[in-house]
Structure formats: C-alpha cells, structure tokens
Structure 1
Amino acid sequence: MQPVVAGALAAVVGFASTFALVLAALTAVGASPAQAGSGLFAICVAVGTLNIAIAWTTKKPASFAWSTPGAAFLLTVGEPAGGYPAVAGAFLVAALLIVLSGLIRPLARAVAAIPASIANAMLAGMLLTLCLAPIQAVGEIPALALPILIAWALALRFTRRYAVPVAVLVTVIILATTTQLPPGAVEFVLPTPVPVMPVFTLDAILRIALPLYIVTMASQNLPGLAVMRANNYDLKASPLFVFTGLASAGTALLGGHTVNLAAITAAITAGPEAHPNPGQRWAAPVAAGAVYILFAASASVAAAFIAASPPILIQAVAGLALLSSLGAALSGALVQEETRLPAILTFVATASGITILGVGAPFWGLVGGLALMFVLNAGKRTEPEVLSK
C-alpha cells in the first residue's frame, strides 16, 4: 500500500494546491464558468490517463501534471483579440511545439540551452504579481483573507506539506458559508465537456502560445526529467514530449491548457517515500492517476465556486500555493554572479507587465535577459572544451 498512499498524496497535494489557480487562469483569458470547468475536467482526465498509461507500460514512476507556471502566466495575459477561441488556438500551437520538441531534437535542445538563471527569472517575474495577492487580499477583505493566511502559516509551522491544502480547505469553508452559488450549481456530478473551436491569431500565438511553450518546457518538462534522473530513472525524453503534446492538444479542444511532466509531485512518487524498492514505485503514479480522474468529477462545482467568489480571494490562495515556487525561482535566478544582472533584467521586465507590439512581458523579459547576457559575454573567449561539446 505504500506506493498507493504516496501516489494518492501526490495527487491530493497537486490538485488541492493549484486547481483554483487553473480555474482563475482560464477565466482570466476569457473562459466562461462552463468552459473553465470543462478545461479543468479535460486536464484532470489527461493527467490521470498519462500517469496510469505511462507508468503501467514502462514500470517506471513517470509522473504528469498540469502546467502550474503556465497557469500563473495566463493570469497575467488578459483576454486576447478573438476571445477564448483564440486562446484555444494558442493552446493548440503550444501543444504542437511540444510535440515537435519530441520529434525534432534541436528544438528541445534550443529550449534546454536557455540559461537556467534566465528561465528562473522569467518564471519569478510571472509569479510575483500573483504572490502579492495574499497581502492585497488582507488589505481589501481582511475578514475573509486573514483566516486563510493564519491557517496557512500555522499549517506551515506544524505540517509543512499540507499547508496549502489546509489553506484551500479553509477557503472552501469560507466560500461555502459566504458565497451565493447560482441555482443548480451543485446538482451536477459530472461536468459537461464544452468543445471550443480554435481560432488562430498572430496576437494569441505571440502573446500566449510561445511564452506558454517556453514556460512549460523550461519550468516543468526539463525539471521533471531532472527529478527522474536524480532518482536514477533514465527516461527517453522524446516520446514523453510527444505524448504530453498530444494530450495537450486534446485538452485544448475542451478549453484546457498544457499538461507536462510533473516536477514537484514527481519527487513524491519517484523517491524513497513511495517505496524502498525503486522497482515498485511505478504504482504510485498509477494511484495518482486514478485519483486525478476522480477529481475530474468535481470540476463543475469547483468552477461554480470560483466564478461566484471574490477574485482577489482566489488569487490570494493561488499566491500562497506559489510562494515556494517564487522562492525557488528567485534562488535559481540569482545563484550565479556572472548571470545575475541579465537575470534581474529578465525578472523586472517580466514583472512589469508591459506589452510591446502586442507581445507580452514574459517574451520581452526573456529577450532582454538573453540580449544583455550576449552583450556582457561578447568578446570573451570560450574555453576549448566547451566548444567541443
């Protein structure tokens, strides 16, 4: 039972920590409550299916999740021209790029070649605004926000792993006692999938698809592979990218964003916590996948709660869930002195929220950081052993 319990725990932590973030993100780019519920349903089913199928087939604890950094990025974009159909088109383009990363190795290598400090700085810039939400919520609605913040802090002190789920539970209790749900919102057990006919626009591709692809690859897929290798599991990256890209294409048609290799929860399912015997740990992702599919049934009710709740309160819970991610991203961005200034430029440019030529801040933060790094390194001799690699 040890791997089953570990897998169920990973799914509960992964879902409870960020499902509100996913719903808020889909709503922020124009999804209706029905479309947001459909998107969450599709993502949960895709994640569950990938966990079960890949782990069962390979007998290795490969874990999958939705793109939490991608959802955080979507919260900063706003609804593009063309509405949610254009967003679905951008999701499809991002999915295609992930598939191509598995089929065309130079593309994956190009993303992997982005310095870790720059990728972390871009992620930190996207997370900053959202991580300010808990403090802003205390200023706007202290009676609702303070109990959540206090519960999170106390849980962090006594049971760190469950701090975010405890905060989510307190939020659900508060919303259940203070929020008026639309009539019939809790009568449906299973959500109704809502197909979205994609529309392809240059604006959505530049503002959403390209940054979402880079964030998903740099902040989820590549770290996910690193976690697996750190636990002595050598997985072929190409097929995994193809499978997650195809799954993301399927979720896009139902309003969901990208799915990818898990990074944080993979540490639970692939580590000694899942089972002392590495050969038995594959059962943990299978159990996690089954739990994710069960969670899919709650997507409609969750979406109804989010739609009827104060937006700042939902953003506050999401911000608490992402504080540790922000800390890790900032640490990774600033760890090397020679790349610190380009990383800081990337961070502040991304956090600024600027839009130039219709393209959002994360793209320009990445471009600015890489450009400054190129300027600072221009004329410096490269060591021969680096050239030979």
Structure 2
Amino acid sequence: MQVGSQPINEVNQVPEPQYQPDFYSTAFIEDSMPHYKRMRDLGPAVWLPRHKVWAVCRYEDVKQALSNDEVLISGEGVAVNGFTNKLMTGDNTVTLTADGADHARRRRALGKPLSIKAVRELKNQIQDEADSLIDRLLVKSNFDGVADFAEHLPVHIVSNLLGIPEAGRKNMLNWSTQSFNTTGPYNWRTLKSVPAAFQMVKYGTKISRDSIDPKGWVNNLYDAADEGILGENEVPGMVLDYMAPSLDTTITASSHMVYLLGRHPDAWEELRADPDLISGVARESLRLASPIRGWCRYATQDVEVGGTIIPAHSRVLVVLASANHDERKWDDPEKFDIHRNPRDHVAFGFGSHSCLGRHLAQLEMESLLRAMAPRVSRIEAGEPRLAINNTLRGFASLPVKFN
C-alpha cells in the first residue's frame, strides 16, 4: 500500500521513508547540515518516528507547504508538543497560531509600524545607533559578537519602540529565547523553558492602555481596537506577538554575519570597496544562518507535498533551515557568496505567515554593515560557542575583535 508516493508497511502501518535520529538532540543541533541533507535525499516528506511528525526539508516543498495554509494550518499549534499548542491556541490564540480571516485581521493590526514605509522612517535613528555601537566596539581589545554586537540594536531599538513597561523591556530577550524552546518536543529544554514562557504570558495579561507609551507600537493595537479591527481584550495577548519573535532572528543572523566576514577577509575587503553589496551580504547571512530551524503545521485533510500524500491529522514540520541549504535550489549552498543576493531565502518563512519584522531585521543588519565598512579594516572572529535551542539555530557567544 502507498500513501501517495510514500510506501506504508502493510503490517504495522509504518510511514516511510523514516529518519531515526532525534531532530532535537544536542548532537543533531550541533551538526545539523549533514542531517538535513540526508533527510532531503530521502524524499519530499520524511517521517520522524521519535516525534511522530512529517518533516518537509526541500526548498520548493517548503514553499509549497507554507503556501497551502488552508489545509496545512497553524490553528492547531506550531509546536511539536501538545502542551505548548494548547497554550497558544483556543482562547489563547496568538497571531502565529491564527488562520484565515482571523490571522489577516491580527496581522493587519500588528503590521502597521513594521511596513516598509514605517521602517524606512527609522533608518536614520537605527543608523545613528549602529554608528555609535561600532565606535564603542572599536576601542575594545575584544568583545562578544553576540552580547556586545548582535544583541544591541534589536534589544535597544525594539524594546523602546514597543513602549511597554520596564519589566517587559528588561526580560524580553530571555522570554523570547525560552518561548522558542517550548515549541520543541517534551524534552528537558522545553520543560526548563516553560516557567519563562508563563512569565511572559502573565506579563502580557497585565498590559493596559495607561501602562504604555502612547507613541509606542503597542498603542497601535489599542488604536486598532478603537477602529473595531481588534477587541480591546485581545490587545494584551497580542503584545506577545511583538515580544516573542522580534529579537532572536536578527541577533542570530547578525552574529553569524560578523563571523562569516571575519572568516572571509577577502569578502570583507570587497564589501568595503563596494557598499552596494551590503544588502546582499545581509541576505546571504540570513540564508546561511537560518535562525529558525522550523515550525509545525497541522494537516486538516490528506495533502500532497512534492508528489507525496501526507495523511490527514498529521503534524508537518516545515524545516526552513534545510530549505535554505538545499542544493536543488542553491549552487554550492554551504558557500558564503557575497554576490548571491538570495532575495528568495526563507529565513523569515514564506506565505501568509512570513515574518512581519523582516524589513526591520534587514535594515538593522544593513545598518551594522554601513557603520562597519568605513571604520573597520579587519575583523577577527574566533570560535563560536553554539546556543542549543529546540527551534533557534545560533551562537551563544563569539569572540570578535575589530581593527
């Protein structure tokens, strides 16, 4: 018997092909790329028996899956484990786990300060902050490419733009990182991170109109409530839509970017001589870093992906990080190619659920490069220490020196 092109063992009804290694083990996370290649080579959809999910790893199949959001939905949760899915759906639905008209309504309210036009208005402010940061780092004998370099703009800019009370600004980064951990399976990382996720949810429920900066992003949500786009009772929960996903992607990609340029001095020299390369280098860094490993979707009916039929009621893990390294799409995908300019990378996802903050993240990364180019002649990047997270892929620390 076959489910589409996927053979099913007649006796045990076991889906095939299977990939046995634990997708969420430390060993897998530390050396993901060879695993992703083996999974891509097995087929369009691969069964992960440890987690009881189908993994979609090829670039075109990932885009197809994310485009089919009427069948492969987010409304049953985007995590591998049921606890987090219950926490993020039903009465607790966030924009990440909304579908259809409800998702469009929420996204419209959230997206106003993150539009291309709105982000462009922040360009000078962000560039000034980037310039000051690089000037400070230049006088240091060395610094951490994560905490001192990559975290500064997202944490400083975004936390202030939100206009939320101090406790939220202070804890945003930790809460965000821990919330990504909770979307894995029931492993020790998920369990360890649940208290921080609850703290973030509790903080969101205490947000009120009189506790925020009237010029901040969160106030836009109350404006949307006044216009009837949102219910005012929805606003506190939607504050988390700004807080949870707004930092880690940019931080991870920015630290990876400075690492790549430190390890490829010829590329850095070429970029310094030709600033027109800056946008493409930021995109190439995003492609190679692929900060988010993947999200789950839920199949409401039998669904075809890449010629394979995935059965109804399956969970489908859409592996963005694998898609960005797929040799079917990218020539020499592991190479840092500053002329590639991969506008069609999927580091920010694809389709209706693509990251709302992608324009801001791109601008922040470009601003760092524009600040560095006239000031930094040479970048020394040491060996990074990996951050082990169920959903994020990045560095915990990275020794760097600017000359």
Task: Identify whether the pair has TM-score above 0.5, normalized to the shorter chain.
Answer: no
TM-score using structure 2 length? 0.28
More strand by share: 2
Of structures 1 and 2, the one with the larger relative CO (CA 8 A, separation 6+) is 1
TM-score normalised by length of structure 1: 0.28
Bigger fraction of residues in helix: 1
